[in-house]
Every structure is written in structure tokens, then in C-alpha cells.
Chain A
Amino acid sequence: MTELMLSRMQFGVSIGLHYLFPITTLGLTLFIVIFETLFITKRLEQYRAISIFLVKMLGLVFVGGVATGLLMPLSMGTNWSRFSIFAGSIVGAIIAVEAITAFALESAFIAILLFGRERVSPRVYWVSAVLVFVGAHLSGFWIVAANSWLQTPAGFAVEEGRLALTSYGQALFNHSTLIRFAHVVTAAWLTGALLVAGIAAYYAARARHAAFAGKLLSVAVPIALVAALAQPVLGHFHILEVLRHNPEKDAAYEGIFKSVNGAPLLAFGIPDEKNQVIHLAVGAPYLLSLLESGDPFSRVTGLEEFPRETWPPANVIFTTFHLMILLSVAMIAVALVGVILMWRKKLTTARWYLLLLPWMIPLPYLANELGWIGAEIGRQPWLIYGVLRTSDASTTTLPVWQLSLTLVGITLIYSAIVVVTFVFLKRLVLKGPPSTV
């Protein structure tokens, strides 16, 4: 049991810290493509300066992502060997193709972005930027497909005590892949948008690099609003998918312990799994029933109808889910204010707003993490929903001392990578963009 917990903690720490990097990468590549496109169409040196600056950031973030990501597929073999042996023919087949399509493409062309600006024409440079964007997003697609397969497995059969693919297409495009990918990618764009907007606002508030900051803000703030507004919409469709395919998880997300007609949509509450109630519940009556079926009086199935041993830890996932939504609302508000200021041509002069924006940078990171904690802990007790329990998936031969050693080592090394990346990024920001823009 201790061994299982240690392996779970190790995976949680490593994937949780790793995830900070790829979402930043996805967000930055979006902005690099936008500014490279503006540069080759409008030939304005300022756009190029912005791209140069963002590429420098990307270099640091990308290498941190590679460093923290290396362990992820290997850890499935080291710590989750029973899972690997049982499901490798499916999950491995997704990860292998991720490596040979996405990683290869991304890593080849990021070299041109980082080192090749003077070596290739602006057009080839633009193509490289697009290919890095495509490679990064393709990588996101494959890994989200692999995770979605764990949540809503499809296209497989059990043969001789292990899994066999019956349809690669169905496994890849299982019920939750596309909606989860849309949710994850737009969340990454929101992360990138608030990151670059925060940096630009930092300059604008101090009247440094005013033109640079103005251009960056005017692109980042509207994108932040669009990506922020997309979250509740995509989240809604995603939760409908969860309701259909992982009903226990949905009930825990919404805090419905007892089945009820006309269920309320809770905005706040303190869940109490033991007594099966939500204390201090605040919510909109009938709204959950309405959202889930279109009928405000429809019946919503509570956790009580599922066997106790298949409940996900309801306290944790109700809380993380609602904190994520709270952050989502806050980010919509921040972006909305920004767009209104922009529309009234006050974006670069509203000092209070410019001073506020840099402090908004952590919000999307927190929301991303909370969302994934809910998704992953919400899948418990299953590793592959309905097929393989987490407790039947871990390696049985690893001694506690080895697991403890690697858990401590990985926590230290990963934290060091996050801290060093942050310090170097901060140094880059304080130094400012190139030349006099």
C-alpha cells in the first residue's frame, strides 16, 4: 500500500510540475506564429522584436519541458509495470507515434527558431515557427488522446490477460479526446496570453519599451478574452461527456450525493463525503438539471447509486473543480476589463490595470493544475476506467527505500528546474526586449 502511494505521489509531482512547461510552450508558440506572420506581412521591425523576445522565452521553457518530460513515459514502465505490460499495446502505440511525429518535428524546427534567424530567410523562419506550433500542438493531441483513452477507453479487447487493439482510430478518437483537447489547448492559449500580457503590462506600467508593450498587449488581451470565454463553453460540453461516460465522477464534481429531481448547480460548498452532504452550499436551484438535460426538473443521479468502492474521492475533486471555475470567472473578468479598456483606448494608460496584470500570470497555471487534479483523481479508483484499477497497476517488486529515494530526488530536481527557469525568465524580462523598441 505504501509502495502504491509513493508511486502515485511520484507521478503526481512529476506530471504536475512538468505540465507547467508544455502549456507555456503551447501559448508561446501561438504568439510567435502571430508575430512572425505580422512581421512578414507588414514588415514592421517591432513585430520581429517581439518574436525575438518570445523565442528567447520559448527556448528556456521548451528545454525545461523536455527535461521534465523525459521521465513521464519511462515512469509507466518503472513504477507502473503491470499497467505497461497490460496496456502497452494501446497506450504505448499512442506515445510511440507522439514521439516519432510530434517530438521529432518540434525539436528539429525549434533549432531553427532558436539559432537560425540569421541563417534562413524570413519566409523559411516563418515556416519553422508554424511547424514548431504544429509539432507542439500535435504532441498535445497525442498525449491528451492517451489520457482520454484512460478516462473513456475504446477500440480494445482483452486477449490472453492483456489488451489488444481492435481499432486504432477508435482508441485515438475515443469519446473524450476531442473535447478534452479543445479544453486543454484553449486553456494553454489563455495561459500564454496572460503570461505575455502580464510581461507587457509590467513594461507599460513603468513606461519601458512602450511601443513593444502596446503592440503585445493589444494582441494578447483580446486572445485572453476569447480563450477565457471558451473555457465555460468547452467545459460545459466536456462535463456532459463526463456525465455520459464517467457518471460517478460527474456526481462528485457537482457535489450530488443523493439522487434528486431539479438539482442545483453549486458555486460554493464544503463537501463532507462521510456524511454525504455539502455544507454551506451556495448555488442556483434547478440549474444543474437544466444544464445536463435541458429540463430544470430532470433527475440527476447521485453518488449513492454507485457502489461505494467505485466512488472517486469526492471531497478533493468537488473542491478542485469549483476552485478552477472560480479562477475561470476571475480570468474572464480580468480579460473583459482589458478589452473594454482597449476599446476605450485606455489600455496602455490605465496604470492600475497594468499594475494588476502581472499578478494574474499565476491564475491560469493554478486553474490548469486544479482541472487536471480533478480529472485524474476523479478517475480513481481506476487507472483505466472500468478496466484496470490503479492498485492493480503498480510495480510490485520495488522496495520502499528505492521509491522514497526517487520521490525525494525527483521532487528536488523538478523543483530546481522550475525555480531556475523562473529565475532565468525573470532575468530575461528585466533585461527587456532587444534594441530600442
Chain B
Amino acid sequence: MDLHFYQTCSFILIMVFLGMFSMLDGFDLGVGMLLPFAKDKDEAGRLVSMISPFWDGNEVWLITAAGFAFAAFPAVYGLLLSSFYLPIMAFVAALVMRGLALDYSYHDLAHQRMWQRLAAGGSYGVTILGLLTLGTILQGLPFVGPGLLSQTFSDYVGVFPILFCLAGTVFVIWQGMTYTLIRDPSGVRQAMAKRIWPAVVAAGMLLMAAWGVYLPQALGKPIALMGGVLCAMGIVAGRLTLERKGWAFYFSCVSMAGLWMLIAASLYPDVLPARHPSGLSLTLGSAAAPLSTLKPMVLIGSFLIPVILVYTGFTYRVFRKGVQ
């Protein structure tokens, strides 16, 4: 009982870290993906300045999620990262490129446009590769033995990951778009958000349809349904509150949170589900570290999340007017 409790808490904790990443670095990535649509390099520069004090701290949520997965679910960490070798390497390369390019665009004004383009490319790379990987996990992995995945690429290909990636990318762009409304609540930006919104609705509908077709068993779970409803509500409420500073962004965060509830509930009690019923899935029980690791991880994690939110909140207050 105790063991199962801490296994579940560890799983939830990692989902919370990933959720924080998708909300916070989500807006950095979203703003990065909006860069190609800036009308000139000054507007792109303004967009970059909205995220430059934050992206690095926001990225830490992903590292934290990875670290906790390493500790709490070593079997998942080892199997997933080694089986997705090239996608993970490309993902890291994109993350590296995004961060460096954002920073270098200040240090190398002569090539500012190039760095802005690289930052945009990195943002697209991180978002697309991350979502494709997550979608492939949700779809189920081609286990061929205990703790062993197929080496054949075609065994991983499916429709769900592609739909999930498409819809998710639109969500991340929306996260960035609504964030820019906090920093620059001008009519121009609001008009742009209004133009994008129908795509977000379409993405939400696509996502729900994909879930219904490919992962129907998930929709029998109350938390998954709640997540789906929250996600939809966030999208609608965001449109209704576009003119009110900040609100659309907070509602976009609600959508993200709902999406993560849907994801977590769909996986649970597996961490890495098998694509075809085989009993080979890595479950909370089979993949988790012993209690002696889970206990301190859960305690440290849940104690420190509010502490980090407090001091991160302080830095957001300091930069509430943006940077030059």
C-alpha cells in the first residue's frame, strides 16, 4: 500500500513537472515559433525580449522531470532514452540551439536575424520532436520482450502521434501568443490572436477525435474526461477574455493542465504502455525504484515546488515590464 502510494505520487510529480514545463517553457517555445511571423527584426527583437529572462529557468522544469524520472523510474529512463536515441539527440540539439540563439541574438547584433531564425528553428524542433515522442508513447510502444523494444522504425509509426503533434504544436503556439498579450496588449496582437484562435479550436477537436478513435479506453477514466473538459473550457474561455490582460494566457495554462491530466490518466497505471496487449508494458509497479528512493524524492519534490514557485514568481514580478 505504502509502496503503491509513493509510486503513484512519483508518477504524478513527474507529470506536474512536465506540465509546468509545457506551461512555462511552452510560452517561450510558442513565442519562438511566432518569430518567423514577425514583420521585421525589431519586432522579432521585442518578442525575444519578452522571454529572454525566463526561458532558462523554465527549461529547468524539463531537466527536473528527467532527473525525477531517472530516480523514480530507472527502467523507464534507461529504456525510453536508449530506444529513442536519435530523436532524443535531435531534441537536445534543438533545445541547445534555441537557448544559445536567444542569448547570442544580444551578443552578436550583426547577425541578429540569423540568431532569431535559429531560435525559431530550435523552438519548432523542440516542440515537434517532444510531441512526436510523447504521442508515440501514448499510442503504445512495440515491446518485443521484457524491457526490450523493437528496433524496426515502422513499428513506431502511427496516426495518433502525428495528430497529437499537430494539435499540440498549435496549443504551444497559442500558449506563446496569449503570453505576448500580457507583455504587449495592443490591438495588433489581439487581432493576431483572434485570427489564430479558430486553429486552436480545430486542434482541440482534432485531439479529442484522435483520443476517441485511437485511445478510447482512456475516456472511460474520470480524470481523463475532466482533463478533456478543462482543456476545451480553457480554449473557449481564452477567446472570451482576449481583451482582458493576462486572462487568455491563464486560460491557456488551464488547457495545458487539462491536457496533462488527460495524458497522465491515459497512461496510468502504465508508464510505458505496450502497443499490442502483451503484458510487457512497463507499469508503475514494474518500473519504479524501491521505496527508499521514492520516499525522499516525493517529499523533496512536493516541498520544493511551492518554494520554487515563490522565488520564480518574484523574478516574473521584477520583469513584469519586460526587458530592453
Contact = CB atoms under 8 A, between A and B. Distances in A.
B103 A88 contact: no
B103 A63 contact: yes
B92 A70 contact: yes
B319 A111 contact: yes
B215 interface: no
Interface stretch (A114-122, A359-367, A379-387): A114-122
B81 A59 contact: no
A115 B107 contact: no
A424 B110 CA distance: 12
B289 interface: yes
A78 B89 contact: yes
**Chain A interface main SS type:** helix
Interface stretch (A22-30, A95-103, A206-214): A95-103
A111 B308 contact: no
Interface residues of B, number: 61
A84 B78 contact: yes
Interface stretch (A31-39, A46-54, A159-167, A315-323): A159-167
B103 A82 contact: no
A80 to B, nearest CB: 8
Contacts of A221: none
A424 B103 CA distance: 11
Contacts of A114: 53
B60 interface: yes
A66 interface: yes
A85 B151 contact: no
Interface string A184-221: 00000000000000000000000000000000000000
Given A66-B99, A96-B71, A116-B318, A89 B300 contact: no
Nearest to B301: A100
A111 B80 contact: no
A280 B67 CA distance: 48
A402 B86 contact: yes
Given A413-B93, A417-B100, A103 B63 contact: yes
A63 B99 contact: yes
A421 to B, nearest CB: 9
Nearest to B73: A88
Contacts of B59: 66, 107
Interface of B: 52-54, 56-57, 59-60, 63-64, 66-75, 77-83, 85-86, 88-89, 92-93, 95-96, 99-100, 103-104, 107-108, 147-148, 151, 289-290, 292-293, 296-297, 300-301, 304, 308, 311-312, 314-315, 318-319, 321, 323
Given A85-B147, A92-B74, A111-B53, 17 more contacts: A64-B100, A66-B59, A71-B92, A71-B96, A83-B78, A88-B71, A92-B70, A108-B311, A111-B54, A116-B53, A119-B321, A120-B318, A164-B292, A397-B148, A398-B82, A405-B86, A424-B107
